[in-house]
Structure 1
Amino acid sequence: MEKNRTDYDAVIVGAGPNGLSAAILLRQYGLSVLLLEAKDKIGGGLATESLTLPGFLHDVASAVHPMAAASPYLQTLPLNEYGLEFINPDIHIAHPFENGSAAFVNSSLTETAHQFGIDEDIYLDLVGSVVEKWPKIGNGLLGPLRMTSHLFDLARFGRNALLPVSLLARRFHSSKARGLLAGVATHNFQPLENLATSAIPLVMLANAHLKGWPVVKGGSAKLAEALGNYFLSIGGQIEIGFTLSDLALLPPAKAVLFDLTPAQILSLKNNRFSGFYRWQLRRYRYGPAVYKIDWALENPIPFTAPECRRAGTVHLGNTFEEIAAGEKCIAAGKENDNPFVLLSQPSLFDISRSPAGKHTAYAYCHVPNGSVQNMAARIENQVERFAPGFKKSIIGTHTMNTADLENFNPNLVGGDINSGRISIDQLFTRPAFRFPPYNTSVKGWYVCSAATPPGGGVHGMCGYHAARTALREVFGVKISGH
């Protein structure tokens, strides 16, 4: 082979949402790009299958997409021309309590705040300030630490975001506001007493008011299909069924980007990484995991609180104190007998998900990483607690423990759907303490998965920033914005 000859400008290993985003950005700048995927379909966690009964469509991993709708990069792509349609429910989040009432979040900031009575102004101040400043701080938060013209606004956000959510919750007087905050904070997968656990709930609540918490019409796989078809339309190449175990098998390229987490990267033969970089990757820590269940239902879930019957996402955990105790239990390596449950009911808003008159629902609870404990009964009991009669409507069930999730997508190590612990020490320095964090020790090789900033969630920003780094360092292309 002729010296310095390359078959491609860039090769992307892994076609999850970040690998797809990286591939698209590189191709948009005229580079020849090959996207490799081990499975027979692209998308990673963006998959939709008939898991329970024929005619019932279930999202295998990612189901609700607030960050996809809010993504600074994905919003620039004409994905609607390739079949993507987001559907936002009337109520984005509902949080029921044992007394039959519920807190809710809809698109209206003022209407959401008003329900909290004495806490109305506090909600408007905390969440409203993020809504107001999001155009200035959103790009800074959804990426690596870097200089920005909006440092003052980011610093003001940080005053609250870096607090433990247990401390932030003390500003609220009502159990309704505190419970809602705790439910959204569980997306940290950490004890609520940990530092910086206020960042995620503030961002996710703000984006509920800005862009909603939508589902994808037809299932999450439609988002992957739209990304893939757009990439192909602009001249990109995709090869599925390519299982990579040895980097010597890659076609020559000037840049290689890995939509993989440290565990998979370290397993690759001929990786040429320095001993120090391998040591850094071995120190990477994965977080708590999930046990997931899908149901085919005869009827809609009969929640006692009417707000829950109009919500796309329902957080089942009752009070702040109950949720906090449960998350602490998981962090201690124990399954919770009364787990917090995140539930999605997409068929209420997307009739393509189930046969006429029938419904689907998706739920998960947190478990210790690698746990194979069967949590199905505990999850169903928690739903029944807030929706008496729910169990009678079940006509089909499919479960996935942590091993099943990792088998479905190796990036979900031990069932960790965030591809790594979201603790303050791994928030901006994942997967290793490097600048930029996408760089490996090999020139031209980058990590673009959710194991890099800004972390988990379907937003494509990890891939975007990794590709942007490759454009600058390998191809001499500097782009502004985002």
Structure 2
Amino acid sequence: MPSMRDAVVVGAGPNGLTAAVELARRGLSVEVFEAKETVGGGARTEELTLPGFRHDPCSAAHPLGAGSPAFRSMPLERYGLSWAHAELPMAHPLPDGRAVVLARSVGETSASLGPRDAVAYRRLVAPYLGRWDTLAGDFLTVPWDGLPRDPALLARFGVTGVQPVSWVARRFREDPARALLSGLAAHAIAPVSTPATGGMALVFALAAHEVGWPFARGGSQAISDALAGYLRDLGGAVHTGVEVKRLDELPPARAYVFDTSPLALARIAGLGSAFANFRHGAAVFKIDYALEGPAPWRAPEARRAGTVQIGPSSGEIGAALHAAAVEGRAPDVPFLIVTQPTLADPGRAPEGKHVLWVYGHVPAYWEGDLTDAIERQIERFAPGFRDLVLARAVAGPAELARRNANYVGGDIACGAFTGMQTLFRPRLSFTPHATPHPAVFLCSAASWPGPGVHGMGGHNAARAVWRRLRQQGQPARRAGRAAPRPRA
């Protein structure tokens, strides 16, 4: 290894590891430094409750991971990553005991919405079906950075995508379809009137039809471990248990790539107020359960679904999001996102037992306890749920931030979806991964394209680094290894 590295990456979450892999695949010398004792960031798996019950402290279901252009270009299956699919990607129970579903089949999804909205749903998704690779390649990379693969398709998507989900939902005549769409957009942890939340809902719906909403077999840690294993085979080095406080603590390098919050990057790199206008958003309150048996959902569809949205009406979902993100209070009736990993991957719990993952939205830095409100909401649709609980691990905003420093105030989206920041993360810039320091780059979920375990923040940042290094001259090479041809 030359004394001057080509790139040093701070943070071994999926984006940091992806950036490191992308650079190492180009023949560059790369080292990664992670403060925790293991790699993972938002993609970890731990025994949080009882022995033998393997939980994901943050991310669990991975529609964008399975459909990620970055991950799909890597041989991660050789390093232990495989996807486990439940029978249904997602179900959304209704108060009358029925459920609408997000199925792999557009026909099954449409039929669940009822005859008044089935045609409207088909029209919404039809232009993009079978074109996931093209759309994801344009949407998840920086859209204005180079020519899109299909300008017309991206423009058509953009017309719908920039709208608030509340506008897109007007296509439907009945509330179950509106509730389904509102729940998909709730991953932004922003009011349903927020611009571009319609695009988030549409992306998640298309991902379900094209690639599903799978779990990483064995837990989300498998994604991080596969990336780290691949990086090591490419000659990269990973150092864990190393907390970086100043840039001069790192080895000399031509580029430094941060899988951190923008404020942490500015502090470490000495950039002062470079990201002073960046805003973190509302938080979540999360519970991991060890269960005696499967959740007793009234709706049969929910018993087959890997993910369950609990918000019986679009109005109730909108009120919960507005309370947490705007009013600064915990909602009286939270909207919940639930995953049931052991339906697809039973080896994550002792035989016959199950794990269940759930969160609701709360204000940033909230110090209360949402456990009772969450369990009351689950019991509305799964009577007897509490009787199955063997143990629970509770994580409010402070605990989430302790586990992952990127989740400032418990903000798992790594940045509020508000104002210009909705579309331009972390700030308005033609090159969103660059910073005022010519050798320092940001690759975390605070940068484009935002949250999710898909590695595209790292992929995009690696492209920016590669361009900068080429402008400066030929990067250093690892001895004895030819550089592969750069990939877009």
What is the TM-score when the length of structure 1 is the normalising length? 0.95
Contact 2:420-2:428 at 8 Å conserved across structures: no
The 5 A counterparts of 1:78-157 are 78-116=75-113, 117-146=115-144, 147-149=146-148, 150-157=150-157
Indicate which of 439, 447, 450 corresponds to 1:455.
450
Matching of residue 204 in structure 1 with residue 184 in structure 2: no
Q: Which residue of 1 aligns with 2:44?
A: 47
Q: For the residues of structure 2 that align with 1:9 and 1:319, how far apart are their CA atoms? A: 52
Q: For the residues of structure 2 that align with 1:76 and 1:154, how far apart are their CA atoms? A: 21
> Cα deviations across residues 362-419 of structure 1 (Å, max 9, x unaligned)?
1000111111210011111111010001010101111001000000010000111111
Q: For the residues of structure 2 that align with 1:193 and 1:45, how far apart are their CA atoms? A: 27
Aligned residues: 471
Indicate which of 316, 322, 332 corresponds to 1:322.
316
Q: For the residues of structure 2 that align with 1:441 and 1:228, how far apart are their CA atoms? A: 29
C-alpha distance 80-480 of structure 1, shift in aligned 2 (>3 A):
closer
| Letter of the structure 2 residue corresponding to residue 249 of structure 1 | E
Q: For the residues of structure 1 that align with 2:129 and 2:408, how far apart are their CA atoms? A: 34
Contact 1:196-1:424 at 8 Å conserved across structures: no
Q: For 2:273, what is the secondary structure of its paired residue?
A: helix
Q: For the residues of structure 2 that align with 1:128 and 1:370, how far apart are their CA atoms? A: 41
Q: CA RMSD in A?
A: 1.5
> Cα deviations across residues 242-282 of structure 1 (Å, max 9, x unaligned)?
111111111101111111111212332xx243xxxx43401
Q: Which residue of 1 aligns with 2:284?
A: 290
| Letter of the structure 1 residue corresponding to residue 195 of structure 2 | L
Instruction: Decide which moves more: 371-380 or 153-162.
Output: 153-162
Matching of residue 304 in structure 1 with residue 308 in structure 2: no
Indicate which of 60, 73, 76 corresponds to 2:57.
60
1:7 positional shift: 2.7
1:427 positional shift: 3.4
C-alpha distance 212-78 of structure 1, shift in aligned 2 (>3 A):
same
Matching of residue 255 in structure 1 with residue 252 in structure 2: no
The 5 A counterparts of 1:428-447 are 428-447=423-442
| Letter of the structure 2 residue corresponding to residue 230 of structure 1 | Y
Contact 1:131-1:207 at 8 Å conserved across structures: no
Indicate which of 385, 388, 393 corresponds to 2:388.
393
Where does the alignment leave 5 or more consecutive residues of structure 2 unmatched? 475-484
1:307 positional shift: 0.1
Q: Which residue of 2 aligns with 1:34?
A: 31
What is the TM-score when the length of structure 2 is the normalising length? 0.94
| Letter of the structure 1 residue corresponding to residue 140 of structure 2 | L
Q: For the residues of structure 1 that align with 2:419 and 2:120, how far apart are their CA atoms? A: 25
C-alpha distance 27-480 of structure 1, shift in aligned 2 (>3 A):
closer
Where does the alignment leave 5 or more consecutive residues of structure 1 unmatched? none
C-alpha distance 194-428 of structure 1, shift in aligned 2 (>3 A):
closer
Q: Which residue of 2 aligns with 1:357?
A: 352
Q: For the residues of structure 1 that align with 2:22 and 2:134, how far apart are their CA atoms? A: 22
Contact 2:266-2:273 at 8 Å conserved across structures: no
| Letter of the structure 2 residue corresponding to residue 192 of structure 1 | V
Matching of residue 423 in structure 1 with residue 422 in structure 2: no
Instruction: Decide which moves more: 149-158 or 297-306.
Output: 149-158
Q: For the residues of structure 2 that align with 1:265 and 1:311, how far apart are their CA atoms? A: 39
Q: Which residue of 2 aligns with 1:216?
A: 216
Q: Which residue of 1 aligns with 2:405?
A: 410
Instruction: Decide which moves more: 47-56 or 419-428.
Output: 419-428
> Cα deviations across residues 223-247 of structure 1 (Å, max 9, x unaligned)?
1111111111111111111111111
Q: Which residue of 2 aligns with 1:244?
A: 244
Contact 1:133-1:153 at 8 Å conserved across structures: no
Q: For 1:104, what is the secondary structure of its paired residue?
A: strand
Contact 1:37-1:239 at 8 Å conserved across structures: yes
Contact 1:74-1:460 at 8 Å conserved across structures: yes
Contact 1:411-1:419 at 8 Å conserved across structures: yes
Instruction: Decide which moves more: 134-143 or 38-47.
Output: 134-143
Q: For the residues of structure 2 that align with 1:136 and 1:41, how far apart are their CA atoms? A: 34
1:136 positional shift: 2.7
Contact 2:413-2:451 at 8 Å conserved across structures: yes
Indicate which of 372, 375, 380 corresponds to 2:370.
375
1:143 positional shift: 2.2
Instruction: Decide which moves more: 155-164 or 298-307.
Output: 155-164
The 5 A counterparts of 1:157-172 are 157-172=157-172
The 5 A counterparts of 1:265-280 are 265-268=265-268, 271-273=269-271, 278-280=272-274
| Letter of the structure 1 residue corresponding to residue 76 of structure 2 | L
Q: For the residues of structure 1 that align with 2:167 and 2:343, how far apart are their CA atoms? A: 36
